[in-house]
Amino acid sequence: MAKAKGKTHFVCQECGAATPKWQGKCPSCGSWNSLIEERVVTTSSRDAVMRPRHTTQTLPLSKISAENMPRKQINSHEFNRVLGGGLVPGSVVLVGGDPGIGKSTLLLQEAATLSTENYKILYITGEESAEQIKMRADRLHAVSDFLYILPETEIESALNAIERIDPKLVIVDSIQTMYTSLLESAPGSVSQVRECTLKLIQLAKTRALPVFLVGHVTKEGYLAGPKVLEHMVDTLLLFEGDRDHFYRILRSVKNRFGSTREIGVFEMTENGLKDVPNPSAVFLAERQIKTSGSAVICCMEGTRPILVEVQALATATKYGYPQRTTTGMDVKRLILLLGVLEKRLGYHVGSMDVFLNAVGGLRIDEPAADLGVITSIASSVRNREIDPNTIFIAEVGLGGELRSVSHIEARLREAEKLGFQRAIIPKGNAKGLREFNNLTVIYAATAFEALQNAVQ
Ligand code: TYD
Ligand code: MG
């Protein structure tokens, strides 16, 4: 890299920490070869960045009204849900995800339906040309007179355009392509990303302008650029899914204006992304009723219960060490539950290969899935099918006891809605639980008791 003019320091590409001298290893996060030389922002240029646009008032909290900040509803219910009930004025939302997952598609199609005479939207693109965006918009039937496209990568010009056009919503696709001429480092470098984000945040706050930033995710699943980016924005949404499958999940990882872990489910179609209002039905759609090793569980994603099929396959180990493989579930949790099966329930799984799969692409990391996992493995070992109309909701302790889970009523309601007739849940959840019309609730104290009811 060419030596930067003026005073320089070294910035870690991983964690954003700055040091005066070059070192092979970042003193802050310990990663190797991650320090890059960058020019220090001078006081005058920093002043230009930081200078307030107008003097702000100090008010007692009781005098501050939040009523003039109504949320803007987006067309997609799933998107609104993940945002916590619509778009908050002045909020900066970072949408991260793998390349090709559909970030630009989602934002473009929502922007087009949202834009009207009274709601101008500016889409700043640093990755694609205006013509490419138009081609995509034609395909999505997302052409609107009030959706403005600006191919630009210099943040100062982009900010000028925002002042000039005065949009009600700004989309920056992507933040890694933006740069400020105040810094000499390349676009996408830590300080560039940080500086551009800072400028956009300041503009968003002073104009009460909501801003969407698109961010790239690296191979390891982290947002490219500094971790500080996550701290700076109000909301971080990750767009996930398997590019070979149609379903996409928008997950809120951080949200200053709503609950986290909330998810929205979409289907990628020929004409863009469509809401999936009932994900449980989708995840259970291809379930084979008459097979062993299949159990249905209910996991909470934010405030929403979702039913998922868990499949287990246990076969005798042919040679050497028994294998444990999972898809969409934690392998350590599987090993623990296999220990419980062996020691407390008398299943000799120590000499078996065990494969576990959460069908549909959702990642399950909730202990409430434990009983379903244990039941599906037991069913596979004994080659007996589980009643397809029963759902399993319980955490399993190391003693084989069933531990109560949160949001039991919401989970049971979802099971009833999807036509399940029986639910096996922990005894500890019995207190205060209402009766269900079409769902028989069976309470069990231990996994042993639950299995006796489930796998004959
Ligand atoms: P894109 O929004 O460009 O992804 P990102 O911005 O996250 O990189 O999505 C591109 C993918 O989506 C591409 O593989 C094609 C697919 N796609 C559809 O299946 N249907 C559509 O209507 C559109 C616009 C894209
Ligand atoms: Mg894109």
Q: What is the CATH number of the domain that holds 426?
A: 3.30.230.10
CATH of the domain at 155: 3.40.50.300
Predicted local distance difference test score (pLDDT) of residue 13: 72
Residue 103 beta carbon below 6 angstroms from any ligand 1 atom? yes
Residue 361 beta carbon below 6 angstroms from any ligand 1 atom? no
Predicted local distance difference test score (pLDDT) of residue 394: 97
Same-domain pairing of 271 and 299: no
Predicted local distance difference test score (pLDDT) of residue 2: 41
Does 243 have pLDDT greater than 80?
A: no
Same-domain pairing of 299 and 232: no
Q: What is the mean pLDDT of residues 79-90?
A: 92
Number of domains observed in the structure of the chain = 3
Nearest CA to ligand 1 atom 9: 102
Please report whether residue 48 resides in a domain: no
Predicted local distance difference test score (pLDDT) of residue 120: 94
pTM of the model: 0.79
Please report whether residue 157 resides in a domain: yes
Q: Would you place residue 345 in the very low, low, confident or very high pLDDT band (cuts 50, 70, 90)?
A: very high
Predicted local distance difference test score (pLDDT) of residue 1: 42
Predicted local distance difference test score (pLDDT) of residue 35: 80
Average pLDDT over the chain, rounded to an integer? 88
Q: What is the mean pLDDT of residues 89-113?
A: 93
Angle at the Cα of 330 from the Cα atoms of 369 and 343, rounded to 5 degrees: 70
Same-domain pairing of 256 and 309: no
Same-domain pairing of 308 and 201: no
Same-domain pairing of 34 and 136: no
Residue 271 beta carbon below 6 angstroms from any ligand 1 atom? yes
Predicted local distance difference test score (pLDDT) of residue 41: 60
Same-domain pairing of 345 and 248: no
Same-domain pairing of 138 and 270: yes
The atom number, within ligand 1, closest to the CA of 99 reads 8
Same-domain pairing of 342 and 381: yes
Angle at the Cα of 129 from the Cα atoms of 145 and 88, rounded to 5 degrees: 55
Q: What is the pLDDT of residues 189-214, one digit of tens each?
A: 788 888 999 999 999 999 999 999 99
Please report whether residue 433 resides in a domain: yes
Residue 108 beta carbon below 6 angstroms from any ligand 1 atom? no
Predicted local distance difference test score (pLDDT) of residue 441: 95
Neighbours of 403 (CB within 10 A): 17
Please report whether residue 140 resides in a domain: yes
- Give the end of a domain, one of 248, 277, 306: 277
Does 314 have pLDDT greater than 90?
A: yes
Same-domain pairing of 355 and 410: yes
Please report whether residue 62 resides in a domain: no
Same-domain pairing of 265 and 356: no
Please report whether residue 59 resides in a domain: no
Q: What is the mean pLDDT of residues 330-348?
A: 95
Please report whether residue 51 resides in a domain: no
- Give the end of a domain, one of 227, 255, 277: 277
Ligand closest to 177 (CA) is 2
Same-domain pairing of 238 and 124: yes
- Give the end of a domain, one of 277, 295, 317: 277
The atom number, within ligand 1, closest to the CA of 173 reads 6
User: In which domain, by residue range, is 307 found?
Assistant: 282-454
Q: What is the mean pLDDT of residues 5-18?
A: 75
Spatial neighbors of 186 by CB under 8 A, at least 6 apart, are: 179, 192
Q: Would you place residue 352 in the very low, low, confident or very high pLDDT band (cuts 50, 70, 90)?
A: very high
Ligand 2: centre distance to CA 37 (Å) = 29
The atom number, within ligand 1, closest to the CA of 214 reads 6
Ligand 2: centre distance to CA 100 (Å) = 7
Please report whether residue 153 resides in a domain: yes
Closest CA to 298 of 395, 212, 160: 395
Same-domain pairing of 27 and 123: no
